């Protein structure tokens, strides 16, 4: 096997220079002459009929531009999967912060005051603010039964196992909303021209999602909509579908005013009005043999979608498919449901349903261990999937993965056994209790089932006039390394130095649709297409006489010559679904994902019973990822994801009141600082992946799945008290501990 | 410092930014962050929260790290400021910036200008900081992407080049 | 940013004398702003009711730390950074130095001032329990001259204090008599840095011949003002600190404080943690062997 030169190396981040010098230009760094600022007047009630909109007559409304639903040229919806979400509320509102009216003005400060000077009277309607209320149909707020989507996975005959079980273990596990908290707030600039159409620059993940949404909203043909991604300061899914909304707003104002319009949210607006991770509730009922083997079971997975459908069906899908974890289920029935409530719609956040259902699965495994009298290690070892066995969707595990051995490596790396013993002894006296917990899990990368086929992604590679090479893809960089990795792959495929390859700014006028930058698909799926397209360039030049083992200089000469003669040198590659991969969308059965990445995370925690605060003291993250394309970027992804997972478990709580987030500031929505995180020790194994570029599997979301259950397991280990709900704040630990016997023995 | 007329109006504020004298005509309660970004076109300093929590707006003022979103323009009169743009002279990067690039300390980059200035300040005070000192020195700069690990490595890398 | 700079006046007269005459000529009109780490947050949130501000940042008369034989006089305009880096403060008043380290991050410590912390009077302000425990004295100044008052009892209610509308805090004075004391403080917040405190305890104790000779226990974030647990101090004075007494002190904490439920935490939690911290202080005091 040829030794790779570029792939596998930690080459410099392609756009890194601008980031460390302050030259990188994010949306709010960009101004256009004549630009107006835009702002949004939003609902103050969770549900109601708009009775009247009035404008403070003492306010100077000169120079203001107004847009309501009536101004929408096309369809008043944010086109995504369904079309139930209005761009602007028209007569009714279904969640706090729902956009109703748009304003624009040259002065940002006057604009702010103007928003306060619009008065809206509502006839409030009863709001549904819990999943349970939604399920009980106290009010019907969406469709006929408040249900966005359901799924059923049925493998084998579950009814047959209850009678045979030595133990039936039940549990209910819940997770709360989580804010993506990218440090750069949402922002866009829109420019309209009756000839060119609409141009949007934005902080966004998916230019072609915005493109599609603008076509429908503004009633414009494809060639009159242009979307360009600006440097984006973090996204994590929070800029997957939301940008279509803010872009639509800026576009409407730009069309009305015939001026460029910039909309930038401040932190409070971004936190309170935009999407969050779906809250979840999982109920497990599992039949277990006395040897600790899972015989079968039922899993009910429910997520709160908020007021409109948006991405809930897809989040539900992923959550449901991952609900069984990395274990062998001889039979199982998994029911998934996404319900409507009157919260701002929940959306994509790294992991996308899997962190929720895997939290439940991994907490439940420890519960099963206790019921049966086995250790958390042993219960997992006895139930791990083996090559040749099938997942809950009956996907055959074809990789030669040995999860038992994998677990063993994680235990050694974390010194698990010695620590467990030591903690048992040391936890006697004193208020500080230590514990250690395991999470074993998997993450399927790429779109589920036939999703990638549906996306039909296209990538281009271009040989430029100066002999260098350019990657053409709509895949966006927002810190995770898209630019770097795709250029590495192209350089490798072309046998050129990394510095010879650039990547075009994602601009729908310039690049083909390589699909959304989500689902951990970029390195694996889009990377494969980059490689194919690059090989296409080689083949074209080879046909013109360029020999196989060309030097970079020879390549340049050949490339320049071709471009001079033919005007351009381009090669495109389109996604080709791998043969023998079968997915049944009706029965939800088959090969859900081209491949899974596997992981074992071990968290060591300390709980101080004088303050009831739990902190993570050490963290081992071991994962099998196919191939590490860029060691530093890969490590950075895992460490960052673990940090967010620690936040999910212990720090990040959304405080809701009547459907509105109350703690929409960085001072009281708590994410970890540099003083709060343990050493995050990252280890990789590489088994390759025939479906991914150079053997890579997707890794962006994987690290989000493991930390929370590992931490909750560790806290139970430390205290002997069970916690099945996150976030787990000191106040929650206090309640549980003071209700248990622990308080008496201290 | 100059007094103003009783009715609120703009005032002239003179300061030194990245070695250059500047005079701006602004409202006294304009935030230093906006003076830098909008009046002086120095957009390297970022707004992440507007409440002094995230540190993306950090600059160095009279030798001390400060959050520019919390400083009114009038209080900057006569001050000497360094922003991210002023860190490197010309196209060459400082050792610290190079270390951030080498170690993966910058992912999305939005916290990076503030983080680099905070690291610069830390290294000026403690040329060979311990990990604990780095954690504390950077605790006012939030990063959502990296989990901080590679930022610590970048600071250690830059520190290892320090002569003391 | 939810305020319009157009609507606000900020003046910087440049000397204490000029500031004081502004405050005297229009009492209650001009809000003093020093480092701005509290005021500017309110301003950015659109919650600052004062439209006229006067800058007291960097006034020479409010700066400086003077070390005298019996007291240390801290200029109210000293920043947290100056406090935590001062050798005598670190050595003899570690509770104050620690509080300075706990407040915000480095950037906010470089701007936040001790006088500002006192005058802003947030119930959760980090340095106030330490000042109460040390029984600081304040030198207040106005056009009428200076007066010196005890910091104990300075705060009379939520954001109400024994200070005239035209007065400023000029000096915070700490008596240099705590070298022989065991000193304890602990802040409980949502995370290790940049956290508003949920409970904050600052305490001093001295044991002589096995008996508690002097004890001061001060708490923040459990009442509208920082408080001393004087009832508990009385129970402890002159007694041997034994487990039963520690338990009694713990029990009494609940009635001595008035914590609330708010966005950050709840009353039950705060009460339980406050009691735990008092017990921890007493236990550590006994174990420290700090004997006179």
CATH, residue B79: 3.10.20.30
Residues in chain B with CB shorter than 8 Å from the CB of C111 are 66-67, 70-71
Residues in chain C with CB shorter than 8 Å from the CB of B140 are 104-108, 193-194
- A·B CB contacts under 8 A: 167
Cβ-based neighbour number of residue A123 at 10 Å: 11
Model confidence at B138: pLDDT above 90: yes
Flag if B109 and A29 touch (Cβ within 8 Å).
no
Phi-psi bin for A429: left (phi > 0), alpha (psi -120 to 50), beta?
beta
Residue A658 CB contacts under 8 Å (≥ 6 apart), including other chains: A46, A96, A127, A129
Mean pLDDT of A388-404: 97
Residue A383 CB contacts under 8 Å (≥ 6 apart), including other chains: A292, A293, A294, A327, A328, A365
- The pLDDT of residue A408 is 98
- Residue in C closest to B122 by C-alpha: C106
DSSP-assigned beta bridge partners for residue A167? A288
What confidence tier does C196 reach under pLDDT thresholds 50, 70, 90? Answer: very high
Closest CA–CA distance from residue B123 to any residue of chain C (Å): 13
B41 shares a domain with B22: yes
Dig out the tokens for C217 from the structure: 């226990």
Give me the residue from C1, C5, C263 closest to A655, CB to CB: C263
Task: Give the residue from B9, B45, B65, B72 with the most C CB atoms within 10 Å of its CB, the best one to mutate.
Answer: B72
Give C209 or B100, the one with higher predicted confidence.
B100
Question: First and final CA of chain B: distance in angstroms?
Answer: 39
Model confidence at A2: pLDDT above 70: no
Largest CA distance in chain B: 54
> How far is the C-alpha of B84 from the C-alpha of B44, rounded, in Å?
6
What confidence tier does A429 reach under pLDDT thresholds 50, 70, 90? Answer: confident
> How far is the C-alpha of B51 from the C-alpha of A665, rounded, in Å?
8
Mean pLDDT of C231-235: 97
Task: Give the residue from B2, B6, B8 with the most C CB atoms within 10 Å of its CB, the best one to mutate.
Answer: B8
Flag if C264 and A668 touch (Cβ within 8 Å).
yes
> How far is the C-alpha of C88 from the C-alpha of A469, rounded, in Å?
64
- The pLDDT of residue C90 is 97
Which pLDDT tens digit goes with each residue over A193-247? Answer: 999 999 999 999 999 999 999 999 999 999 999 999 999 999 999 999 999 999 9
What confidence tier does A530 reach under pLDDT thresholds 50, 70, 90? Answer: very high
> How far is the C-alpha of A209 from the C-alpha of A516, rounded, in Å?
7
- The pLDDT of residue B161 is 84
Model confidence at C292: pLDDT above 90: no
- The pLDDT of residue B4 is 45
Going A103 to A104 to A108 to A109, the CA torsion angle's sign is negative
B68 shares a domain with B35: yes
- Asked if A605 and A617 touch (Cβ cutoff 8 Å), the reply is yes
What confidence tier does B2 reach under pLDDT thresholds 50, 70, 90? Answer: very low
- In a domain, residue B50? The reply is yes
Flag if B64 and C81 touch (Cβ within 8 Å).
yes
B147 shares a domain with B82: no
Model confidence at C291: pLDDT above 60: no
Give me the residue from B48, B84, B140 closest to A22, CB to CB: B84
- The verdict on A144 touching B (C-beta cutoff 8 Å) is no
- Residue in C closest to A430 by C-alpha: C280
- The verdict on C276 touching A (C-beta cutoff 8 Å) is yes
> How far is the C-alpha of C61 from the C-alpha of C73, rounded, in Å?
12
- The pLDDT of residue A746 is 44
Closest CA–CA distance from residue A668 to any residue of chain C (Å): 7
What confidence tier does B126 reach under pLDDT thresholds 50, 70, 90? Answer: very high
Flag if B108 and A184 touch (Cβ within 8 Å).
yes
Q: In what order do the strands lie in the sheet with A92-93?
A: A92-93, A48-55, A118-124
B62 shares a domain with B27: yes
Task: Give the residue from A19, A229, A272 with the most B CB atoms within 10 Å of its CB, the best one to mutate.
Answer: A19
- The verdict on C269 touching A (C-beta cutoff 8 Å) is yes
Give me the residue from A110, A113, A675 closest to C193, CB to CB: A675
Backbone angles phi, psi at C282, to 5 degrees: -65, -40
- Residue in C closest to A109 by C-alpha: C4
- The pLDDT of residue C290 is 54
Residue A136 CB contacts under 8 Å (≥ 6 apart), including other chains: none
Please enumerate, as own/partner, the contacts of A453-457 that have beta carbons within 8 Å and a separation of 24 or more.
Answer: A453/A575, A453/A577, A455/A515, A455/A516, A455/A575, A456/A574, A456/A575, A457/A513, A457/A514, A457/A515, A457/A525, A457/A526, A457/A529, A457/A574, A457/A575
DSSP-assigned beta bridge partners for residue A444? A596
Model confidence at A345: pLDDT above 50: yes
DSSP classification of residue C190: S
- Asked if B140 and B46 touch (Cβ cutoff 8 Å), the reply is no
Flag if B72 and C36 touch (Cβ within 8 Å).
yes
Q: Last residue of some domain: B65, B86, B107?
A: B86
Mean pLDDT of A662-679: 97
What confidence tier does B7 reach under pLDDT thresholds 50, 70, 90? Answer: low
- The pLDDT of residue C174 is 98
Give me the residue from C263, C268, C273 closest to A663, CB to CB: C263
Model confidence at B128: pLDDT above 80: yes
Q: Last residue of some domain: B40, B68, B86?
A: B86
Residue B111 CB contacts under 8 Å (≥ 6 apart), including other chains: A183, A233, B46, B48, B54, B55, B56, B141, B142, B143, B144, B145
DSSP-assigned beta bridge partners for residue A101? A41
Going A419 to A421 to A426 to A431, the CA torsion angle's sign is positive
- Asked if A571 and A461 touch (Cβ cutoff 8 Å), the reply is yes
| Percentage, residues of chain B above pLDDT 70 | 93
Residues in chain A with CB shorter than 8 Å from the CB of B147 are 636, 639-644, 677, 680
- Asked if C104 and A667 touch (Cβ cutoff 8 Å), the reply is no
- Asked if A239 and A349 touch (Cβ cutoff 8 Å), the reply is no
| Percentage, residues of chain A above pLDDT 70 | 99
B107 shares a domain with B82: no
Model confidence at B162: pLDDT above 70: no
Flag if B43 and A25 touch (Cβ within 8 Å).
yes
The SS3 of residue A458 is strand
> Which A residues, 415 through 434, put their C-beta within 8 Å of a C-beta on chain B?
none
- The verdict on A432 touching C (C-beta cutoff 8 Å) is no
- In a domain, residue B6? The reply is no
- The verdict on C9 touching B (C-beta cutoff 8 Å) is yes
Closest CA–CA distance from residue B78 to any residue of chain A (Å): 24
- The pLDDT of residue B3 is 44
- The pLDDT of residue C44 is 98
- The pLDDT of residue B163 is 43
- Residue in A closest to C6 by C-alpha: A109
- Residue in B closest to C30 by C-alpha: B6
Of the candidate CATH numbers 3.30.390.50, 3.20.20.140, 3.40.50.300, 3.40.800.20, the domain formed by C182-291 belongs to 3.30.390.50
Flag if B29 and C53 touch (Cβ within 8 Å).
yes
- In a domain, residue B2? The reply is no
DSSP readout, C145-165?
Answer: EEEEEESTT-EEETTEES--T
Residues in chain A with CB shorter than 8 Å from the CB of C272 are 612, 734, 738
Flag if C1 and B31 touch (Cβ within 8 Å).
yes
B19 shares a domain with B69: yes
The number of angstroms, rounded, from the C-alpha of A82 to the middle of its chain's C-alpha atoms is 20
> How far is the C-alpha of A725 from the C-alpha of A280, rounded, in Å?
10
- The pLDDT of residue C20 is 98
Residues in chain A with CB shorter than 8 Å from the CB of B30 are none
- In a domain, residue B125? The reply is yes
Flag if A674 and B151 touch (Cβ within 8 Å).
yes
> How far is the C-alpha of A136 from the C-alpha of A270, rounded, in Å?
31
What b/e readout covers B12-44, taking b as 16+ CB neighbours within 10 angstroms?
ebebebbeeebebebbbbbbbbbbbbbbbebbb
Flag if C268 and A734 touch (Cβ within 8 Å).
yes
What confidence tier does A580 reach under pLDDT thresholds 50, 70, 90? Answer: confident
Model confidence at A489: pLDDT above 60: yes
- Residue in C closest to B141 by C-alpha: C105
- In a domain, residue B5? The reply is no
- Residue in C closest to A736 by C-alpha: C269
Query: To the nearest whole number, what is the mean pLDDT of chain B?
Result: 94
Mean pLDDT of A625-639: 98
Which pLDDT tens digit goes with each residue over A648-665? Answer: 999 999 999 999 999 999
Q: Last residue of some domain: B23, B53, B86?
A: B86
- Asked if A201 and A230 touch (Cβ cutoff 8 Å), the reply is yes
Which pLDDT tens digit goes with each residue over C159-173? Answer: 999 999 999 999 999
What confidence tier does A578 reach under pLDDT thresholds 50, 70, 90? Answer: confident
Residues in chain C with CB shorter than 8 Å from the CB of B27 are 5-6, 8
> Which C residues, 157 through 196, put their C-beta within 8 Å of a C-beta on chain A?
188, 190-196
The SS3 of residue C232 is helix
Residues in chain C with CB shorter than 8 Å from the CB of B6 are 9
Going A481 to A484 to A487 to A491, the CA torsion angle's sign is negative
Instruction: State the pairing for strand pair C155-157/C145-150.
Output: unpaired
- The pLDDT of residue C181 is 96
Model confidence at A297: pLDDT above 70: yes
Which pLDDT tens digit goes with each residue over C44-63? Answer: 999 999 999 999 999 999 99
Mean pLDDT of C76-85: 98
Flag if C191 and A266 touch (Cβ within 8 Å).
no
- Asked if A583 and A591 touch (Cβ cutoff 8 Å), the reply is yes
Flag if B52 and C107 touch (Cβ within 8 Å).
yes
Question: First and final CA of chain A: distance in angstroms?
Answer: 62
> Which A residues, 538 through 557, put their C-beta within 8 Å of a C-beta on chain B?
none
- Asked if A399 and A595 touch (Cβ cutoff 8 Å), the reply is yes
Which pLDDT tens digit goes with each residue over B19-55? Answer: 999 999 999 999 999 999 999 999 999 999 999 999 9
- In a domain, residue B48? The reply is yes
Mean pLDDT of A186-195: 96
CATH number of C60-175: 3.30.465.10
Q: How many residues are there in chain C?
A: 292
DSSP classification of residue A173: E
Residues in chain A with CB shorter than 8 Å from the CB of C105 are 673
Half-sphere exposure (Cβ direction) of C46: Cα atoms closer than 13 Å:
12
Give me the residue from C194, C272, C277 closest to A734, CB to CB: C272
Model confidence at A38: pLDDT above 80: yes
What confidence tier does A742 reach under pLDDT thresholds 50, 70, 90? Answer: low
Give me the residue from A28, A632, A673 closest to B150, CB to CB: A632
Dig out the tokens for A696 from the structure: 């890579």
- The pLDDT of residue A128 is 98
What confidence tier does A558 reach under pLDDT thresholds 50, 70, 90? Answer: very high
Q: Find the DSSP H helices in A91-167.
A: 108-116, 131-135
B138 shares a domain with B74: no
- In a domain, residue B107? The reply is yes
The SS3 of residue A195 is coil
Give me the residue from C10, C14, C51 closest to B72, CB to CB: C10
B56 shares a domain with B27: yes
> How far is the C-alpha of A266 from the C-alpha of A248, rounded, in Å?
18
Nearest by Cα to A520 from A702, A276, A319, A321: A702
The number of distinct structural domains making up chain B is 2
> How far is the C-alpha of C247 from the C-alpha of C268, rounded, in Å?
18
The CATH number of the domain holding residue B134 is 1.10.150.120
DSSP-assigned beta bridge partners for residue A702? none
Model confidence at B164: pLDDT above 50: no
B122 shares a domain with B69: no
- In a domain, residue B45? The reply is yes
> How far is the C-alpha of C246 from the C-alpha of A674, rounded, in Å?
36
Q: Which chains touch C (3 or more CB pairs under 8 A)?
A: A, B
Range of the domain at B22: 11-86
Flag if C41 and B51 touch (Cβ within 8 Å).
yes
Model confidence at A1: pLDDT above 50: no
DSSP readout, A610-666?
Answer: TTTEEEEEEEEEEEE-S--S-HHHHHHHHHHHHHHHHIIIII----EETTEES--ST
Residue A161 CB contacts under 8 Å (≥ 6 apart), including other chains: A287, A295, A296, A297, A330, A331
Residues in chain B with CB shorter than 8 Å from the CB of A630 are none
- The verdict on A109 touching B (C-beta cutoff 8 Å) is no
What b/e readout covers A467-486, taking b as 16+ CB neighbours within 10 angstroms?
bbbbbbbbbbbbbbbbbbbb
């Amino acid at each position: 096997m040829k030794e790779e030169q570029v792939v596998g190396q930690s080459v410099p981040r392609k756009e890194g220079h601008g980031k460390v010098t302050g030259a990188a230009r994010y949306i709010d760094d960009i101004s256009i002459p004549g630009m107006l600022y835009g702002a949004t007047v939003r609902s103050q009630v969770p549900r109601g009929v708009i009775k009247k909109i009035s404008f403070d007559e003492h306010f100077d409304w000169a120079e203001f531009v107004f847009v309501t639903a009536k101004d929408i040229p096309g369809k008043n919806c944010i086109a995504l999967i369904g079309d139930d979400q209005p761009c602007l509320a028209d007569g009714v509102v279904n969640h706090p912060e729902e956009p109703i009216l748009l304003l624009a003005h040259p002065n940002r400060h006057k604009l702010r005051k103007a928003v306060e000077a619009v008065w809206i009277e509502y006839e409030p309607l009863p709001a549904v603010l819990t999943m349970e209320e939604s399920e009980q149909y106290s009010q019907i707020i969406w469709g006929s039964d408040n249900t966005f989507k359901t799924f059923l996975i049925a493998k084998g005959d579950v009814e047959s196992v209850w009678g045979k079980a030595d133990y039936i273990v039940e549990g209910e596990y819940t997770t709360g909303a989580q804010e993506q908290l990218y440090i750069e707030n949402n922002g866009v600039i829109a420019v309209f021209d009756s000839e060119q159409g609409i141009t949007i620059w934005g902080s966004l993940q998916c230019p072609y999602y915005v493109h599609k949404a603008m076509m429908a909203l503004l009633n414009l043909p494809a060639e009159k909509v242009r979307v360009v991604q600006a440097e984006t300061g973090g996204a994590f899914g929070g800029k997957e579908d939301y940008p279509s909304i803010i872009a639509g707003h800026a576009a409407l104002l730009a069309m009305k005013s015939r001026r460029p319009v910039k909309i930038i949210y401040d932190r409070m607006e971004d936190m309170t009005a935009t999407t969050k991770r779906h809250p979840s509730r999982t109920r497990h009922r599992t039949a277990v043999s006395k040897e600790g083997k899972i015989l079968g079971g039922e899993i009910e997975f429910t997520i709160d979608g908020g007021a409109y459908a948006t991405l809930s069906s897809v989040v539900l899908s992923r959550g449901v498919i991952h609900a069984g974890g990395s274990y062998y289920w001889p039979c199982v029935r998994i029911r998934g449901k996404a319900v409507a409530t009157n919260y701002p719609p929940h959306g994509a956040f790294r992991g996308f349903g899997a962190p929720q259902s895997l939290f439940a699965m991994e907490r439940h495994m420890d519960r099963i261990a206790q019921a049966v009298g086995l250790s958390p290690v042993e219960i997992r070892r006895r139930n791990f999937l083996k090559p040749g066995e099938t997942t809950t969707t009956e996907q055959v595990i074809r990789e030669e993965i040995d999860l038992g051995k994998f677990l063993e490596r994680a235990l050694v790396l974390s010194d698990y056994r010695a620590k467990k013993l030591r903690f048992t002894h040391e936890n006697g006296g004193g208020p500080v209790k230590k514990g250690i917990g395991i999470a074993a899990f998997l993450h399927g990368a790429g779109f589920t089932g036939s999703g990638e086929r549906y996306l039909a992604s296209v990538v281009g590679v271009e040989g430029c006039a100066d002999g260098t090479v350019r990657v053409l893809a709509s895949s966006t960089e927002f810190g995770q390394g898209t630019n770097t990795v795709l250029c590495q792959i192209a350089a490798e495929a072309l046998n050129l130095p990394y510095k010879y390859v650039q990547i075009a700014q994602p601009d729908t006028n310039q690049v083909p649709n390589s699909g959304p930058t989500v689902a951990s698909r970029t390195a694996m799926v889009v990377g494969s297409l980059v490689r194919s397209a690059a090989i296409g360039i080689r083949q074209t030049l080879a046909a013109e006489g360029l020999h196989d083992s060309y030097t970079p200089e020879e390549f340049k000469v050949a490339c320049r010559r071709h471009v001079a003669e033919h005007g351009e040198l381009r090669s495109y590659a389109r996604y080709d679904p791998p043969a023998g991969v079968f997915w049944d969308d009706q029965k939800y059965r088959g090969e859900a994902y081209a491949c899974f990445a596997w992981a074992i995370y071990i968290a060591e925690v300390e709980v101080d019973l004088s303050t009831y605060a739990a902190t993570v003291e050490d963290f081992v993250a071991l994962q099998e990822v196919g191939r590490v394309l860029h060691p530093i970027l890969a490590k950075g992804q895992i460490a960052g994801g673990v940090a967010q997972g620690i936040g999910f478990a212990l720090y990040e709580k959304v405080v809701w009141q009547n459907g509105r987030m109350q703690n929409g500031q960085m001072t009281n929505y708590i994410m970890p600082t540099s003083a709060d995180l343990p050493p995050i020790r990252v280890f990789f194994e590489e088994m390759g992946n025939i479906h991914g570029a150079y053997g890579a599997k997707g890794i962006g979301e994987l690290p989000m799945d493991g930390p929370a259950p590992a931490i909750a397991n560790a806290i139970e280990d430390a205290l002997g008290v069970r916690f099945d709900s996150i976030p787990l704040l000191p106040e929650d630990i206090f309640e549980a501990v003071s209700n248990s016997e622990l308080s008496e023995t201290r | 410092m100059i007094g103003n007329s009783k009715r609120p109006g703009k005032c002239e504020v003179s300061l030194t930014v990245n070695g250059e004298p500047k005079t701006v005509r602004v409202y006294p309660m304009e935030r230093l962050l906006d003076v830098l970004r909008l009046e002086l076109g120095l957009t390297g300093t970022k707004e992440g929260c507007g409440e002094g929590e995230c540190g993306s707006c950090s600059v160095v003022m009279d030798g001390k790290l400060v959050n520019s979103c919390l400083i009114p323009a009038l209080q900057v009169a006569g001050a000497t400021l360094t922003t991210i743009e002023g860190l490197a002279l010309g196209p060459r990067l400082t050792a610290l910036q190079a270390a951030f690039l080498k170690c993966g300390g910058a992912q999305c980059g939005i916290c990076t200008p503030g983080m680099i200035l905070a690291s610069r300040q830390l290294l000026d005070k403690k040329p060979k900081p311990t990990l604990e000192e780095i954690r504390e020195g950077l605790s006012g700069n939030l990063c959502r992407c990296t989990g901080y690990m590679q930022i610590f490595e970048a600071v250690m890398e830059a520190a290892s080049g320090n002569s003391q | 940013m939810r305020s319009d700079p157009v609507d606000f006046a900020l003046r910087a007269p440049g000397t204490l004398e000029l500031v004081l005459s502004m405050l005297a000529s229009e009492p209650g009109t001009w809000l003093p702003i020093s480092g701005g780490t509290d005021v500017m947050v309110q301003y950015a949130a659109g919650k600052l009711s004062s439209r006229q501000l006067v800058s007291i940042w960097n006034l020479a008369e409010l700066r400086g730390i003077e070390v005298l034989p019996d007291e240390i006089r801290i200029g109210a305009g000293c920043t947290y950074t100056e406090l935590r880096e001062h050798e005598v403060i670190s050595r003899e008043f570690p509770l104050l130095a620690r509080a300075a380290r706990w407040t915000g991050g480095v950037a906010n410590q470089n701007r936040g001032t001790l006088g500002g912390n006192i005058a802003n009077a947030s119930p959760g302000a980090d340095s106030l329990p330490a000042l109460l425990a040390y029984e600081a004295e304040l030198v207040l100044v106005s056009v009428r001259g200076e007066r010196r008052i005890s910091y104990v009892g300075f705060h009379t209610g939520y954001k109400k204090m024994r200070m005239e509308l035209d007065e400023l805090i000029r000096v915070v004075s700490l008596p240099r008599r705590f070298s022989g004391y065991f000193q304890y403080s602990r802040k409980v917040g949502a995370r290790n840095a940049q956290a508003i405190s949920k409970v904050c305890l600052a305490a001093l104790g001295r044991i002589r011949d096995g008996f508690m000779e002097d004890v001061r226990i001060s708490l923040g974030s459990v009442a509208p003002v920082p408080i001393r647990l004087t009832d508990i101090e009385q129970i402890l004075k002159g007694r041997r600190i034994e487990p039963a007494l520690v338990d009694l002190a713990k029990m009494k904490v609940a009635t001595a404080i008035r914590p609330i439920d708010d966005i950050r935490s709840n009353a039950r939690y705060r009460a339980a943690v406050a009691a735990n911290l008092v017990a921890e202080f007493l236990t550590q005091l006994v174990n420290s062997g700090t004997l006179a």
